[in-house]
Structure 1
Amino acid sequence: MARAETTRTLYASGDLDYAVPPGETLRELLEEKGMTQRELAERVGLSPKHVNQLINGLVRLTPEVAESLERVVGTPARLWNRLEADYQSTLVRLRSARDLEQHVDWLNELPVSELVERNILPEEPSNKISRIDQLLAFFTVASVDVWRELYEQPAACAFRKSKVQDSKLGPLSTWLRLGEIEAQQMPCAAFDSTSLKASLPELRALTLLPAQEFRPRLQKICSARGVAVVFIEEVKGARVSGVTRKIGTKRVIQLSQRYRTDDQLWFSFFHEIHHVLNGDDEMRIEIAGRTDTDDPIELEADRFSADTLIPPQYGSRLAELTSKAEVRAFAREIGIAPGIVVGRLQRENPRWPYSKGNDLKRKLDLLDT
């Protein structure tokens, strides 16, 4: 294959693993015309040294030089400008690829196979650099360092507060990003704290409904008040039950449905609602099994959730409940699902071990509704 044909083929490929300067095309044209570099330098008004550097890609081919080359060798200036832009773009891509090679171990931190199973990422790419590129696009960040700043550090803070040692930052960051994607697609009105607070009785009444009925109603009520509620299957290793945060102008509540029972789901939901109503602008991540009982903000949210589900005027009667029949009657009286009462008793009443009354809890699968 002739040199000129080789160069044109390389430029047409669009995915080079090395960069070809526009000077290579210029060299080929000079050979075809029988013109020396010195003669070209004289005709375009450049020094022979500059022309040699141009041909070897050591200096940029500027728009001014492109105009001169159009007059001297007949090739349109727009072609020279495009070749220079392609060359510089390829150099940047190659430098980026070399940088990404230093972060191959990052792949081991992230649940790549799980993202493939969820059809978020395609099947295995041809190389690890391509996979890193895909993950950066998934997280919408320019580099691994930026990812650590935006995702890892808030997660690490949550883990430190929760004192949970066996959770993993990569899976948690992935779960957070999946929630971002879904929340961004949900239309929401402007945030209205007063209206949200007024809707609490309506939201509480939803606990009596099956998942396929309460999920759309819950999301509609909250979105009308500026809160996007999303349910994202927990990523293995994240050990997370919920999170509250701001994404743009939206308040977002993201729930993992980790335990798949109505008592856990509704307790987590109203816990997060308190963070929203309390105006907590920082990300609040609720790690499953947390032991941060000294965090006043979390304790306050726990108390709010418990009192919203079972108001204090009824709370004193919990100690009187000794049978499942009494739980059902009590739940009907106060308008709440009986499984929520069982969950409260299991947490607070030593006479109700965690093995008692679980059949009153409703199993949920909000991810399929």
Structure 2
Amino acid sequence: MENKIQNQYKPNYVSPPGETLLEVLEERGMSQAELAERTGRPKKTINEIINGKAAIISETALQLERLLNIPASFWNNREQRYREFLARQEEQERLKKQVEWLGMIPVKAMMKFGWIQFYQDQVEQLREVLNFFAVASPEQWEEIWSSNHIYFRKSQTFPSDPGAIAAWLRQGEIAAAKIACAKYDANSFRKVLQNIRTLTVEPQEIFQPQIIKLCAESGVAVVFVPELPKTRISGATHWLNPDKALIQLSLRYKTNAHLWFDFFHEAGHILLHGKRDFFLEGIDTLSTEDEEKEKEANQFSENILIPQGQLKKFLASGKQRTKAGIEEFAAEIGIAPGIIVGRLQHDQVLPPSHCNDLKQKLKWV
């Protein structure tokens, strides 16, 4: 996406409605004291309105309409615009002091992917990033995206960047909001997964949109979001609401073996674990309970892709040592041979350098 500099006109001054009121009074030869008397308002209040120190409330606007024959809506609108202008000026000063926070966020990478737009003005750029996260300030971002969320525990092996992880997760939420899903149904989702398994033999341009479509029919939004630098996250699963789950995939390893394992792993979390759980793949420092859930999801993915009984029979045949044998077994159980290679490498049956040409390379489509 081409980054464009935004040139939106915003007035740097809005006069208080009291200035207009004073002009009208002078045109009609009416003093502030007379206006106070006719409206029943204290003279001090009228003077404060004229000097912008007090607001024109709706009741006063109606009185001005009656006395000056100028619609109450005019006064209300002038007052609203003026107060909004003051609020924006206050926000501008506050945000000026907070632009350094942008250093925590991968702004350039987000612009590269088209998630946010470029602004020359740093305060405007800060507003753009806050809009992306749907928070009012960096303090609220810290509260929502860092302090209260378990998924910012740092990996001992690959230290991750909280700002980048938050941006990646937020983009997943934005993408998922655009997917219309049926109400979640566990039985339907289980059946859908069996249908999706048959798609492993298809090229990416066919299986990717089909995954999204089929899962949406069972209440699961599947989104593919490019990995940001320093995230080191391959997938995530959580519930957007009680009727809609989210599976988010990054294509981090860029092979069908990893993608399909990750997809069914995340699907396992949805079927096996609670709706309040949040799973982020790539985090190594987990609690005992979380580690057990990860093992369960791993087992679910392994079994649905390559049933244990069929795998044992295949290993006993000795055919796992040749590409021809792997391709024959893949055709027999109806999945892509690259998935079998990935499993054999993971189980140390094959060295990591063997048969990688059977894996399908993936790209962003």
Provide the residue aligned with 2:198 in structure 1. Answer: 205
Q: TM-score, normalised by structure 1?
A: 0.85
Provide the residue aligned with 1:359 in structure 2. Answer: 357
Deviations 1:104-140 (A, max 9, x none): 1221122222232233333324x22211222222223
CA distance in 2 between counterparts of 1:51 and 1:159 reads 55
SS at match of 2:237: strand
SS at match of 1:186: coil
Provide the residue aligned with 1:322 in structure 2. Answer: 321
With over 3 angstroms needed to count, the CA separation of the structure-2 counterparts of 1:78 and 1:299, relative to structure 1, is same
Structure 1 segment 182-197 matched on structure 2, within 5 A: 182-197=175-190
With over 3 angstroms needed to count, the CA separation of the structure-2 counterparts of 1:153 and 1:285, relative to structure 1, is farther
Whether the 8 Å contact between 2:189 and 2:215 is mirrored in structure 1 is yes
The alpha-carbon deviation at position 165 of structure 1 amounts to: 4.8
The alpha-carbon deviation at position 203 of structure 1 amounts to: 2.0
SS at match of 1:273: helix
Deviations 1:15-74 (A, max 9, x none): 333553211222333344454433433343333322222212222212232233344444
User: Which among 274, 278, 291 is matched to residue 280 of structure 1?
Assistant: 274
With over 3 angstroms needed to count, the CA separation of the structure-2 counterparts of 1:233 and 1:256, relative to structure 1, is same
**Structure 1, gaps ≥5 residues long:** 1-12
Q: TM-score, normalised by structure 2?
A: 0.86
CA distance in 1 between counterparts of 2:189 and 2:63 reads 67
**Structure 2, gaps ≥5 residues long:** 1-7
Amino acid at match of 2:130: L
Deviations 1:263-312 (A, max 9, x none): 10011001001011124313533333736495111111111111221111
With over 3 angstroms needed to count, the CA separation of the structure-2 counterparts of 1:67 and 1:124, relative to structure 1, is closer
With over 3 angstroms needed to count, the CA separation of the structure-2 counterparts of 1:284 and 1:77, relative to structure 1, is closer
SS at match of 1:205: helix
Provide the residue aligned with 1:254 in structure 2. Answer: 248
Structure 1 segment 59-98 matched on structure 2, within 5 A: 59-98=54-93
Deviations 1:212-244 (A, max 9, x none): 222233223222211121112112222211111
Provide the residue aligned with 2:292 in structure 1. Answer: 296
User: Which among 99, 104, 128 is matched to residue 134 of structure 1?
Assistant: 128
User: Which among 135, 144, 151 is matched to residue 150 of structure 1?
Assistant: 144
CA distance in 2 between counterparts of 1:237 and 1:90 reads 39
Q: Does 1:107 align with 2:102?
A: yes
Whether the 8 Å contact between 2:153 and 2:285 is mirrored in structure 1 is no
SS at match of 1:240: coil
Whether the 8 Å contact between 2:154 and 2:283 is mirrored in structure 1 is no
Amino acid at match of 2:139: D
Higher mean C-alpha displacement, 31-40 vs 240-249: 31-40
Provide the residue aligned with 1:5 in structure 2. Answer: none
Higher mean C-alpha displacement, 129-138 vs 271-280: 129-138
Whether the 8 Å contact between 1:262 and 1:363 is mirrored in structure 2 is yes
Amino acid at match of 1:29: V
CA distance in 1 between counterparts of 2:17 and 2:284 reads 60
What is the aligned length? Answer: 352
User: Which among 222, 228, 234 is matched to residue 235 of structure 1?
Assistant: 228
Whether the 8 Å contact between 1:318 and 1:345 is mirrored in structure 2 is no
With over 3 angstroms needed to count, the CA separation of the structure-2 counterparts of 1:80 and 1:216, relative to structure 1, is closer
Whether the 8 Å contact between 1:162 and 1:287 is mirrored in structure 2 is no
SS at match of 2:47: helix
Provide the residue aligned with 2:306 in structure 1. Answer: 310
Whether the 8 Å contact between 2:158 and 2:232 is mirrored in structure 1 is no
Whether the 8 Å contact between 1:208 and 1:336 is mirrored in structure 2 is yes
Higher mean C-alpha displacement, 69-78 vs 244-253: 69-78
Provide the residue aligned with 1:337 in structure 2. Answer: 336
CA distance in 1 between counterparts of 2:156 and 2:275 reads 22
CA distance in 2 between counterparts of 1:196 and 1:46 reads 67
SS at match of 2:222: strand
SS at match of 1:252: strand
The alpha-carbon deviation at position 200 of structure 1 amounts to: 3.2
CA distance in 2 between counterparts of 1:201 and 1:72 reads 75
SS at match of 1:61: coil
With over 3 angstroms needed to count, the CA separation of the structure-2 counterparts of 1:20 and 1:311, relative to structure 1, is same
Amino acid at match of 1:201: Q
Structure 1 segment 14-53 matched on structure 2, within 5 A: 15-18=10-13, 20-53=15-48
Provide the residue aligned with 1:10 in structure 2. Answer: none
Structure 1 segment 1-16 matched on structure 2, within 5 A: 15-16=10-11
